[in-house]
């Protein structure tokens, strides 16, 4: 609100603090500040009193002490002798891992479902709206528990793979789906493997460069280069060639049944898969709605205009609809990513060792340092979401329609 | 709009919630109910039945304390707590005592500032495996996947044990006993580990209990007992001696069946007389009525009766007395004398 | 040309041909199927795939549902009756029905009270939800409802809630009377009257009139707890959310920053950490010697959580209003309170309603998280006492399926309402 300034100079009276709009806002702010300080001081005072009464203190020394418990899925070196801090880092990395995986798959699910909801196939349309409604209207906690239960109940136990006539067998002899997780071959990076990896990374860059070039050519001359096959070729051919040139430096370690479990290979634990799948399919339903809304937000005239220019349906989608729809889709999409990250804290329901389960769970239990643990936990999530918000703001500024 | 509900809830809370300050005994008396922290549900120790009545061995201790202090074993408000919340609930005064099969450890006693008033069950961490696995010793468990209930000392013991024996394992931490059970039965883990009593209780609920065996190794000491806050010794004494009264009553042969007779007049045994308040003024020293122990014992019987009724061999849980027999029978239960 | 016509007269029909039916492929079901299911080859493949998916879903669930057992006292009995056949053990639902709905501590003779409160909720919500179609007078009942529901669910004497209600009425009257002397004065006056009423309610509330058996808040459980948390927190968070949104839009930097920090902080952390705060940390920040019930602490935290989200929705509504509305209000000489109350908020809230409903649905679903902090809501009842009991140990699908269904019915209903409302409110010319 614009404040009307009165040119006439009056002498200051205390009542003006309340009645004069020039000063009233200062009064209000002062009161608010005082109230805030008062509340904080009151809470802090209580905290000090309570801690003194209980003989406790606030200290973060426990972070350096050995954690004493084991974690089943770790991305960094961790044993039960590692410190609570290491356990927390393991948890942070696990949170980020599941959040990243779930974001990727949720986007795929969501885009597919969102596009199919607009399909002209009646059955598909109904099936997809059934999926969206079923997942949007039931708490994610229930879904996580149900999916975890389905996984453990439906998939075979490793013991089912044993014996001469096993109940279950590995797919292609290399991938095993068990209720403890999925075992896949793990690449072993031999000598010279770095060359192959570097080649592959260069190929990826090459693909982007090629597509850019094709687009530029299209805009400049109207000549259309094929993108599908050449991209694939650029992506794989050099790497495969290099792989053989270097003498097959990358080999695979296949999982094998041994003892109680599969040995070797890479194990993706059941809790991770359950949480990953549950979060992606749940959030996918929300993303589907965003995608649908985004596509619908592009007015029909755009499609018709594109069609009258002679574009084919696929190109209409790629060149006309999607670029406009993305502007509508991306902001809610990013806040869905934020939701995935926050919902990953429900990992404790399935026993996945994310930050809430390590720092906010076992560490908190074992050390009893509730205030410290919860504070660190909130700090972590806060940093993550502020980071994502920052990305979102940058994006929003970048895609803002310039002419408005 | 619903501000009143909120305010109302506040008032109700204000009325019901007591103070966390020193004189817990006075608070409990003034409030008329005992707030007792228990598990969210472990059959045999503390679990609500079909009608919502709490039942179990730990519950029995709570009821005995309520009976001793308030004269009414039903005057208990059971507050379900998880492994995570139990200590804060006690520290903040939300509950007056915690009887949630909690292991007495140094750090809980000293660092977390709690006072364990005694041991009501001597337990140890064990392992349960399906019989078909053909495992006869915990030493054979190298490489196994182990289901653990989180929020207990179990995780630490397990890590220590496997490390000591230089074996590998894969922990699957599970929040509730029911879920751990489901994982174990579905074969998502080879072994389920928790306190031996808990294993027995869990196995009892299986469709085919005989297909599962408890391994002989007990890898830890788990003295489970009720605890109270540091610093309120009067209240600690009340809980401690109520527990001792239950144990002593069994040793002295006082049961819920004969207690009415014995308490009606002083008998021949001076210690029974002192316990039951027909002689001396032990109750007064505690700040309770003279017949406090009579009420405590009548609430659910003496220690042996509570044991038999909730977790003993006649129940589905079927625990033998073992270490929890009276010292006179070769067990560890040894109540200090009432004098 | 006419003679050619005359010549060909013999060949001219003098009756109309009866309309022949369209080709079989262009009518009825066939046409519909061709158009909607098998338009192109990829489309047909999709259709077949969809039919396969539906078949598998039904094949997996139908026998299990149809063959379900509804009468048994334990899972063992279920297994005996089924004798190896596939079938759900729905007996757990009939056996623990009341526990699932009301928790295990609510006195069983008093179940009618929350049930009645639940039914009345519809009566109370209807005039707000369908404000165009129902008489304004019904809003009176909406105003009375919170107090009635409190009395019904928590029980006790009717006097305190009645006094509180009268207090609110008196506060409103005071507010109206003082309104001419300025909005701030009126608010202060109203609040003063309200405080007096609360104190009165606290002191003379002991009079026993129409006493219902008192039920402690910690005895609430099951779906009842989800409903209580959902409705109470949403209702409380709307006014707080409005205040926060206005604060964030404010010109006063300190107030703005307080609101920004609060909103961003709450929105940045998962609800579960806030519940941990309610459960394990909040007690340390209260004055020594006081403890709140867990449910009250949880209500505080969930309300804070919901307020931040609702504030953002309303901020969106405020931002969507054309600048001219603000300027028009200013040019009429309205002060801030008047402008907000009479011009800005009514419009902004109207725009925000669908968003608020979405937040409410999300929040209602999130109330299941309280099961993680040892409260026995619907999910907590299932994961705790029911699955832990020897009778029903091992019944997962039936229980979680039921919980999912219950939430689905409520949330789907509300979101359908929200969509209807969106169409209803859509008065712009798009």
Task: List, for residues A106-116, the tens digit of each pLDDT value.
Answer: 999 999 999 88
The residue out of C141, C176, C211 marking a domain boundary is: C211
CB within 8 Å: A152 and B171: no
Task: Please give the pLDDT value at position C205.
Answer: 59
Residue A7: per-residue pLDDT: 53
Please indicate whether, in this complex, the C-beta atoms of C366 and A139 are within 8 angstroms of each other.
Answer: yes
How many CB pairs (< 8 A) connect A and B?
114
Query: pLDDT band for position C278 (50/70/90)?
Result: confident
C206 shares its domain with C310:
no
Contact A139 C365 (CB under 8 A): yes
Confidence category of residue A2, pLDDT binned at 50, 70, 90: low
Helix (H) or strand (E) holding C196: helix C183-204
* A80:B159 CB<8 A: yes
Question: Which pLDDT band, with edges at 50, 70 and 90, does C5 fall under?
Answer: low
Could you tell me which chains touch chain A, where touching means 3 or more CB pairs under 8 A?
A: B, C
Q: Give me the mean pLDDT over the A189-215 stretch.
A: 84
Range with top average pLDDT, A255-259, B276-280, C209-213, C408-412: C408-412
Q: Are C408 and A138 in contact (CB under 8 A)?
A: yes
pLDDT for residue A9: 58
Same domain, B194 and B137: yes
Q: What mean pLDDT comes out for the span A129-133?
A: 92
Query: For chain A, what are the domain ranges?
Result: 40-137+269-404
In B230-278, beta strands by DSSP E? none
pLDDT of residue B92: 78
Q: Name the β-bridge partners of B326.
A: B333
- The total of structural domains in chain B comes to 2
Per-residue pLDDT, averaged over A71-94, amounts to 87
Q: What are phi and psi of B212, to 5 degrees?
A: -125, 140
What CATH number corresponds to the domain at position C281? 1.10.3720.10
Q: Which region among A168-182, B120-134, C411-425 has the lowest average model confidence (pLDDT)?
A: A168-182
Residues C165 and C276 in one domain: no
If asked whether residues B147 and B175 sit together in one domain, one would say yes
What pLDDT is recorded for position A363?
A: 87
> Is the pLDDT score of C184 beyond 80?
no
The Cα–Cα gap between A282 and A274 comes to 12
Cα B44–Cα B47–Cα B49 angle in degrees, nearest 5: 105
Contacts for C286 with CB less than 8 Å, ≥ 6 apart: A46, A50, B92, C292
Distance CA A201, CA C356 (A): 46
- Lowest-pLDDT range of A101-110, A168-177, B311-320, C215-224: A168-177
CA triple C115-C116-C121, angle to 5 deg: 100
Q: Which of B220, B242, B270 is the last residue of a domain?
A: B220
Quick one: which of A132, A139, A142, A108 has its CA closest to A285? A132
Element (H, E) at A117: helix A84-117
B18 falls in which pLDDT band (50, 70, 90)?
very low
C-alpha C334/C-alpha A29 separation (Å) is 21
Listed by number, the residues of chain B in 70-129 with a beta carbon closer than 8 Å to a beta carbon of chain A are: 83-84, 87-88, 91-92, 107-108, 111-113
pLDDT the model gives residue B12: 39
Chosen domain end from B199, B220, B241: B220
Distance CA C6, CA C11 (A): 10
Same domain, B135 and B204: yes
Residues B211 and B257 in one domain: no
Instruction: Report the chain A residue with the minimal C-alpha distance to residue C270.
Output: A342
Give the pLDDT score at C8.
55
* Cβ-nearest to A153 among B91, B159, B186: B186
**What is the tally of structural domains in chain C?**
2
Confidence of residue A400 (pLDDT cuts 50, 70, 90): low
Same-domain status, B256 and B146: no
Mean pLDDT of chain C: 83
Of residues A349, C387, C96, the one with CA closest to residue B41:
C387
Give dist(CA C65, CA C398) in Å, integer: 9
pLDDT at B140: 86
Under an 8 A CB cutoff, do C161 and B11 touch?
no
Decide: pTM greater than 0.80: yes
A40-44, B200-204, C247-251: lowest mean pLDDT where? B200-204
- Judge whether B18 is closer than 8 Å to chain C, CB to CB: yes
Q: Is it the case that residue C386 has pLDDT exceeding 90?
A: no
Kindly state whether residues B88 and B45 are assigned to the same domain.
Answer: yes
In a domain, B149, yes or no: yes
Query: Region C358-380: what's the mean pLDDT?
Result: 89
Position C140 in a domain: no
Token couple for A277: 């799948």
Q: Which of B48, B49, B88 sits opposite C283 (nearest CB)?
A: B88
Report d(CA A199, CA A401) in Å as an integer: 38
Distance CA C34, CA C36 (A): 6
Same domain, C350 and C388: yes
Burial (CB < 10 A; 0-12, 13-18, 19+), residue B50, is middle
Q: Which residues of A fall below an 8 Å CB-CB distance to B?
A: 50, 53-56, 68-72, 79-81, 149, 152-153, 156-160, 179-180, 258-261, 263, 270-271, 348-349, 351, 353, 357, 361-362, 364-366, 368, 370
Residue C177, domain extent: 157-211
Report CB contact under 8 Å: B185, C394: yes
What's B144's domain CATH number?
3.40.190.10
Q: Specify the pLDDT at position A380.
A: 93
The residue-averaged pLDDT of A51-70 equals 82
Instruction: Kindly state whether residues C305 and C229 are assigned to the same domain.
Output: yes
* pLDDT score of C29: 79
pLDDT at A391 over 70: yes
In this predicted model, what pLDDT tens digit does every residue of B236-283 receive, in sequence order?
A: 999 999 999 999 999 998 888 888 888 888 888 888 888 888 888 888
* pLDDT at residue number B307: 92
What residues of B are in contact with residue C143 (Cβ under 8 Å)? 1
- Do B59 and B203 lie in one domain? The reply is no
Closest-CA residue of C relative to A356 is C273
Would you say residue C386 lies in a domain? Answer: yes
pLDDT for the residue A6? 55
C204 and C233 in a single domain? The answer is no
Summarize the confidence of residues C349-354 as an average pLDDT: 84
- In this prediction, residue C427 has a pLDDT band, given cuts at 50, 70 and 90, of low
| pLDDT for res C18 | 85
Tokens of A173: 């002899």
Strands A186-189 and A250-253: antiparallel
* Residues in chain C within 8 Å Cβ distance of B41: 384-385, 388-389
Residue C145 belongs to a domain: no
* Whether the predicted pLDDT of B7 surpasses 60: no
Position C351 in a domain = yes
Are the beta carbons of C198 and B175 separated by less than 8 Å? Answer: no
Range with top average pLDDT, A18-27, A323-332, C154-163, C232-241: C232-241
- Portion of chain A with pLDDT greater than 90, in percent: 21
What's the pLDDT tens digit per position in C119-174? 898 888 888 888 778 787 888 888 888 888 888 888 877 777 888 888 888 888 88
Q: Which residues of C touch B231 (CB under 8 A)?
A: none
Give the pLDDT mean for B80-90: 81
Residues near C119 by Cβ (< 8 Å), separated by ≥ 6? none
Residues C298 and C183 in one domain: no
Question: In this structure, are C336 and C254 located in the same domain?
Answer: yes
Alpha carbon of B308: minimum distance to chain A alpha carbons (Å):
32
Poorest-confidence range of B158-167, B223-232, C13-22? C13-22
B197 and B133 share one domain: yes
Distance CA B219, CA B103 (A): 14
Residue B273 lies in a domain: yes
pLDDT, average across residues A157-172:
73
Domain region containing B68: 22-122+224-329
| Residue B13: pLDDT band with limits 50, 70, 90 | very low
Distance from C-alpha of A146 to C-alpha of A132, rounded to nearest angstrom: 17
Arithmetic mean of pLDDT, C401-409? 93
User: Which of the pair, C182 or B278, is modelled with greater confidence?
Assistant: B278
When comparing pLDDT for A120 and C264, which is higher? C264
**Range A280-294 average pLDDT:** 92
Average pLDDT, chain A: 83
Chain-chain contact of A263 with B171 (C-beta, under 8 angstroms): no
Band of the pLDDT at B21, cuts 50, 70, 90?
very low
Contact C284 A50 (CB under 8 A): yes
Q: Quote the CA–CA distance of C115 and C128 in Å, as a whole number.
A: 21
Cα(A253)–Cα(A251) distance, integer angstroms: 7
More confident residue, C419 or C3: C419
On whether both B89 and B113 belong to a single domain, the answer is yes
A40-137+269-404 architecture in CATH? Orthogonal Bundle (1.10)
Q: Please check the confidence at residue A161 and state whether its pLDDT lies above 90.
A: no
In tens, the pLDDT along C42-87 reads 888 888 888 999 999 898 888 888 888 888 888 888 888 888 778 8
3-state secondary structure of B82: coil
* Cα end-to-end span (Å), chain C: 54
pLDDT for the residue numbered B315? 83
Q: What DSSP character marks residue B333? A: B
Q: Do residues A161 and A178 lie in contact, with contact meaning Cβ atoms separated by under 8 Å?
A: yes
Which residues, 6+ apart, have CB-to-CB distance to C208 below 8 Å? C157, C159
Strands B227-229 and B114-116: antiparallel
Residues C360 and C344 in one domain: yes
Residue of A56, A157, A261 with shortest CB distance to B170: A261
Question: Is C243 inside any structural domain?
Answer: yes
Say if residue B8's pLDDT is above 50: no
Q: Are strands B169-174 and B114-116 parallel, antiparallel or unpaired?
A: unpaired
Last residue of a domain, one of B202, B220, B238: B220
Considering CB atoms only, which of B142, B155, B187 is closest to A179? Answer: B187
DSSP helix/strand/coil, C427: coil
pLDDT of residue A100: 92
Residue C351 and residue C228 in one domain: yes
Q: What percentage of chain B reaches a pLDDT higher than 70?
A: 93
Whether residue C192 is found in the same domain as residue C297: no
Same domain, residue pair B209 and B184: yes
Most confident of B31-45, B92-106, C398-412: C398-412
- C417 within domain boundaries: yes
Region C306-314: mean pLDDT is: 92
DSSP secondary structure code for residue A262 in this structure? E
Mark yes or no for CB contact B231/A55 under 8 Å: yes
User: Do B66 and B94 sit in the same domain of this protein?
Assistant: yes
């Amino acid at each position: 609100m614009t404040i009307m300034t009165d040119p006439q100079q009056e002498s200051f009276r205390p009542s003006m603090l309340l009645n004069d709009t020039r000063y009233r806002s200062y009064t209000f702010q002062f009161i608010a500040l005082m109230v805030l300080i008062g509340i904080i001081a009151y809470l802090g005072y209580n905290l000090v009193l309570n801690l003194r009464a209980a003989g406790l203190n606030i200290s973060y020394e426990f972070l350096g002490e050995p954690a004493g418990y084991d974690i089943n899925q770790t991305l960094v070196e961790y044993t039960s002798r590692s410190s609570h801090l290491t356990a927390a880092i393991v948890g942070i990395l696990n949170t980020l891992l599941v959040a990243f995986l779930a974001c990727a798959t949720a986007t795929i699910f969501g885009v597919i479902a969102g596009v199919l909801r607009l399909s002209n196939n009646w059955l598909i349309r109904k099936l997809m709206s059934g999926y969206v409604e079923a997942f949007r209207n039931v708490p994610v906690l229930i879904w996580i528990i149900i999916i975890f239960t389905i996984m453990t109940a439906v998939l075979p136990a490793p013991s089912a793979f044993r014996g001469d006539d096993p109940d279950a067998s590995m797919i292609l002899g290399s991938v095993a789906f068990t209720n403890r997780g999925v075992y896949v071959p793990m690449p072993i990076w031999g000598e010279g493997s770095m060359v192959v990896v570097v080649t592959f990374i260069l190929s990826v860059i090459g693909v982007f460069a090629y597509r850019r070039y094709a687009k530029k050519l299209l805009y400049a001359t109207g000549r259309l280069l094929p993108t599908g096959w050449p991209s694939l070729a650029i992506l794989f051919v050099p790497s495969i060639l290099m792989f053989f040139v270097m003498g097959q430096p990358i080999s695979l370690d296949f999982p094998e049944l041994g003892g109680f479990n599969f040995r070797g290979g890479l194990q993706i634990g059941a809790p991770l898969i359950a949480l990953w799948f549950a979060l992606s399919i749940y959030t996918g339903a929300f993303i589907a709605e965003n995608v649908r809304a985004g596509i619908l937000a592009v007015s029909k005239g755009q499609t018709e205009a594109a069609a009258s220019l002679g574009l084919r349906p696929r190109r209409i989608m790629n060149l006309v609809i999607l670029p406009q729809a993305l502007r509508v889709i991306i902001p809610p999409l990013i806040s869905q990513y934020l939701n995935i990250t926050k919902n990953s804290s429900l990992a404790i329901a399935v026993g996945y060792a994310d930050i809430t389960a390590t720092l906010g769970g076992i560490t908190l239990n074992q050390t009893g340092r509730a205030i410290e643990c919860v504070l660190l936990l909130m700090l972590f999530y806060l940093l993550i979401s502020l980071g994502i918000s920052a990305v979102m703001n940058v994006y929003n500024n970048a895609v803002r329609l310039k002419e408005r | 709009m619903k501000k009143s509900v909120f305010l109302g809830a506040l008032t109700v809370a204000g009325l019901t919630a007591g103070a966390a300050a020193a004189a817990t005994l006075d608070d409990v008396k003034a409030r008329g109910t005992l707030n007792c922290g228990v598990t969210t549900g472990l059959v045999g120790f503390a679990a609500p039945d079909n009608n919502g009545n709490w039942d179990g061995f730990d519950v029995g201790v709570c009821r005995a304390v309520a009976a001793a202090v308030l004269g009414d074993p039903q005057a208990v408000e059971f507050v379900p707590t998880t492994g995570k919340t139990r200590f804060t609930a006690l520290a903040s005064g939300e509950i007056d005592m915690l009887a949630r099969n909690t292991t007495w450890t140094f750090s809980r006693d000293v660092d977390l500032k709690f006072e364990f008033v005694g041991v009501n069950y001597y337990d140890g961490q064990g392992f349960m495996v399906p019989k078909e696995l053909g495992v006869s010793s915990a030493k054979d468990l190298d490489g196994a996947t182990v289901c653990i209930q989180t929020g207990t000392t179990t995780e630490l013991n397990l890590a220590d044990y496997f490390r000591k024996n230089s074996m590998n394992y894969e922990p699957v931490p599970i929040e509730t006993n029911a879920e751990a059970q489901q994982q174990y039965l579905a074969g998502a883990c080879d072994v389920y580990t928790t306190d031996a009593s808990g294993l027995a209780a869990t196995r009892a609920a299986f469709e085919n209990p005989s297909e599962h065996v408890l391994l002989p190794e007990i890898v830890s000491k788990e003295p489970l007992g009720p605890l109270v806050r540091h610093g309120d010794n009067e209240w600690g004494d009340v809980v401690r001696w109520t527990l001792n009264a239950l144990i002593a009553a069994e040793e002295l042969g006082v049961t819920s069946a004969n207690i009415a007779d014995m308490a009606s007049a002083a008998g021949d045994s001076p210690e029974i007389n002192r316990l039951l308040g027909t002689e001396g003024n032990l109750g007064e020293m505690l700040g309770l009525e003279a017949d406090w122990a009579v009420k405590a014992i009548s609430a659910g019987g003496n220690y042996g009766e509570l044991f038999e009724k909730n977790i003993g061999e006649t129940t589905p849980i079927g625990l033998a007395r073992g270490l929890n027999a009276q010292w006179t029978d070769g067990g560890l239960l040894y109540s200090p004398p009432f004098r | 040309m006419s003679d050619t016509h005359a010549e060909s007269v013999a060949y001219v029909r003098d009756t109309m041909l009866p309309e022949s039916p369209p080709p079989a492929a262009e009518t009825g079901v066939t046409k519909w199927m061709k158009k909607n299911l098998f338009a192109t080859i990829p489309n047909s493949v999709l259709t077949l795939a969809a039919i396969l998916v539906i078949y598998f879903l039904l094949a997996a669930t139908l026998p299990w549902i149809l063959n379900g057992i509804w009468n048994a006292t334990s899972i063992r009995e279920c297994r005996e009756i089924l004798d190896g056949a596939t079938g759900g053990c729905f007996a757990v639902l009939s056996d623990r029905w009341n526990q699932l709905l009301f928790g295990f501590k609510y006195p069983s003779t008093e179940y009618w009270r929350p049930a009645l409160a639940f039914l009345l909720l519809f009566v109370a919500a209807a005039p707000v939800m369908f404000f165009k179609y129902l008489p304004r007078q019904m809003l009176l009942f909406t105003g009375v409802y919170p107090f009635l529901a409190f009395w019904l669910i928590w029980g006790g004497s009717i006097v305190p809630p009645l006094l509180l209600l009268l207090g609110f009425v008196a506060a409103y009257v005071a507010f109206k009377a003082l309104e001419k002397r300025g909005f701030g004065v009126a608010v202060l006056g109203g609040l003063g009257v309200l405080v007096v009423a609360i104190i009165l309610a606290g002191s003379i509330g002991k009079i026993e009139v129409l006493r219902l058996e008192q039920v402690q808040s910690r005895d609430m459980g099951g779906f009842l707890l989800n409903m209580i948390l959902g409705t109470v927190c949403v209702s409380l968070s709307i006014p707080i959310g409005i205040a926060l949104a206005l604060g964030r839009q404010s010109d006063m930097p300190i107030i703005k920053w307080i609101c920004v920090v609060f909103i961003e902080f709450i929105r940045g952390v998962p609800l579960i950490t806030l519940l941990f705060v309610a459960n394990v940390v909040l007690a340390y920040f209260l004055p020594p010697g006081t403890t709140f019930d867990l449910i009250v602490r949880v209500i505080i935290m969930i309300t804070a959580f919901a307020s931040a989200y609702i504030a953002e929705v309303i901020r969106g509504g405020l931002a969507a209003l054309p600048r001219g509305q603000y300027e028009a209000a200013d040019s009429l000489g309205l002060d801030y309170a008047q402008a907000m109350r009479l011009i800005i908020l009514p419009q902004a809230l109207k725009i925000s309603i669908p968003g608020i409903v979405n937040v409410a649905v999300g929040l209602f679903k999130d109330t299941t998280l309280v099961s993680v902090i040892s409260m026995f809501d619907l999910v907590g009842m299932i994961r705790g006492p029911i699955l832990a009991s020897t009778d029903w140990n091992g019944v997962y699908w039936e229980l979680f399926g039921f919980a999912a269904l219950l939430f689905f019915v409520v949330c789907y209903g509300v979101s359908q309402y929200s969509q209807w409302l969106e169409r209803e409110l859509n008065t712009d010319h798009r």
